Amino acid sequence: MFLVEAKSYIQKLISTLQTKDEDSVKRILQNLREVKNYLRSKTNFDWSKGLYQYTNRLAHLYLLRKNGLCAYLVFVFFISDSQVKGPTTVSEWKGAIKLLHSCLGIGKHKLRARIANIFVDVNQLQ
């Protein structure tokens, strides 16, 4: 199974948990704590705020694998998307990803081999 997430500009990495349903919030926060502990993140950064969409995808990958499914997470990062003024080089995306991982306290981690970052130049698609 492949989970795929695509981004065309760096600001799309920033997101916060939006649901107001108390039961959903409790379940989501518990899952985020569980995957954060599994990945041995020591940061005090709140995984439900700021970078929630990314941490939510990590949690999905973790829970699928925990339940015996052969799952992978693929991040597709678009380069040179002029409509949204996105990054024009792979290194811009890699810098943002490195900062994201630093904030989350997850440099090299147990799920790393199950995650792929793919960089697609939209100019090559047209």
How many CA within 13 A on the CB side of residue 111? 27
User: Is residue 68 within 8 Å of 121, Cβ to Cβ?
Assistant: no
Could you read off the pLDDT of 64-119 as tens digits, one per residue? 999 999 999 999 999 998 888 889 999 999 999 999 999 999 988 889 999 999 99
Give the H or E element holding residue 32.
Answer: helix 22-38
- Of the candidates 46, 57, 42, the one whose C-alpha atom is nearest the C-alpha of residue 3 is 57
pTM comes to: 0.90
Phi/psi at 121 (5° precision): -85, 115
Domain ranges of the chain: 2-124
